[in-house]
Amino acid sequence: MSTDRPCEPSAARPDCELFCRVVDNFGDIGVCWRLARELAARGLRVRLWVDDWATLARLCPAAGAGRDGVHSAGVELRRWEEVFPRVEPARLVVEAFACELPEIHLSAMAACRPAPAWVNLEYLSAEDWVEGCHGMASPHPRLGLVKHFVFPGFTPATGGLLRECGLLQARRLFQGDAQAPAAWLKGLGLRPAPGALVVSLFAYAHDGLADLLDAWAAGPRPLCLLVPHGRMARALAAAFGAASAAPGDVFARGLLTAHILPFTGQDAYDRLLWACDLNFVRGEDSFVRAQWAARPFVWQIYAQEEGAHHAKLEAFLGRHGENLAEDVAAPLRRFWHAWNGLAAAGGEPESPAACWPAMAAVLPALSVHAQGWAAALESLPDLAGVLAQYPDATVKS
């Protein structure tokens, strides 16, 4: 047991602090920054520790000033460096995605009376076993602390999904106004061709991108492709034979027009998803936002060693397509498998380009399904609310 002096209550003590190591570029920090902002919006004093300050600054320009301890959106932003400072722990300590807390902070937590609530926020999964693990407790072998596991998920027996207060109402107002999506795109300087399919693309590097671009260029329908500036924008430029890509650049071939967008904050990204007919997303944060957008989407899951992500992808496809007719679900599964490089029935992965015509044909049905799916998700627990109440929650042992 630590011999440090027990921490005493102070008015400045945060209600909650989150620890985030940036592994999946914007995936981990995207979830943590959005969660921290929402907890602060609900009246909690929140502190966020991040080990990759440059990536945080892309999402939160206030961090770009470089100062440790700056506040933004009601959140205190702190650098998580190798030499960790001695600070008073928050009442609720959230260890995001098993990032492992600094030993000095664990000792400070053990010295507190009462000890802080300690939560390990796990990755989102649709797998069945998540229900049995959500809320379980794990005692620390030395310090007398107990860590509880919170699993986001797609059933009432999980921690649910992250959604901000007012998010769904804002989306309904936006999409309920027939002029709003086009007006929002016009504000970005975009005027898709009449009847064009508007598609956003946020993805990891993909060998099949060039062929898919060719398929889109060949029609039969105009396609307006919107790509946030970053790695995928550079890959897009290369597919068009260009050496680089910058915000505002436009690449055109056949019926395809691709626009490079400035990298944007999370709220604007939500509206981009709301304004599109189809969204390609990756990782976890944009994956959840695409579902709240109530639009058809294609998920590129973060690849894990030995194909561990395959079961996770299949579990979601099974749950998401549960109420879909097979003639709609089959093209969706086929395209998702191709986009994620999974083997088809014949034993080899198909190209996304080969699967695109069938996927395009079922987009009207998928649009209806996406609206029903988003409505069904509203009945799930609210992840921020689950965490905000956690110090008083009853958990499994």
**Spatial contact of 77 and 32, defined as CB atoms under 8 Å apart:** no
> Which one of 17, 28, 38, 122 is the catalytic residue?
28
> Which one of 122, 164, 284, 285 is the catalytic residue?
284
Report the 3 state secondary structure along the chain.
Answer: CCCCCCCCCCCCCCCEEEEECCCCCCHHHHHHHHHHHHHHHCCCCEEEEECCHHHHHHHCHHHHHCCCCCEECCEEEEECCCCCCCCCCCCEEEEECCCCCCHHHHHHHHHCCCCCEEEEECCCCCCCCHHHHCCCEEECCCCCCEEEEECCCCCCCCCCECCCCCHHHHHHHHHHCCCHHHHHHHHCCCCCCCCCEEEEECCCCCCCHHHHHHHHHCCCCCEEEEEECCHHHHHHHHHCCCCCCCCCCEEEECCEEEEEECCCCHHHHHHHHHHCCEEEEECCHHHHHHHHCCCCEEEECCCCHHHCHHHHHHHHHHHHCCCCCHHHHHHHHHHHHHHCCCECCCCCECCHHHHHHHHHHCHHHHHHHHHHHHHHHCCCCEHHHHHHCHHHCCCCC
Q: At what angle do helices 363-377 and 285-292 cross, to 10 degrees?
A: 100
Known catalytic residue: 284? yes
Could you give the residue numbers annotated as active site? 28, 284
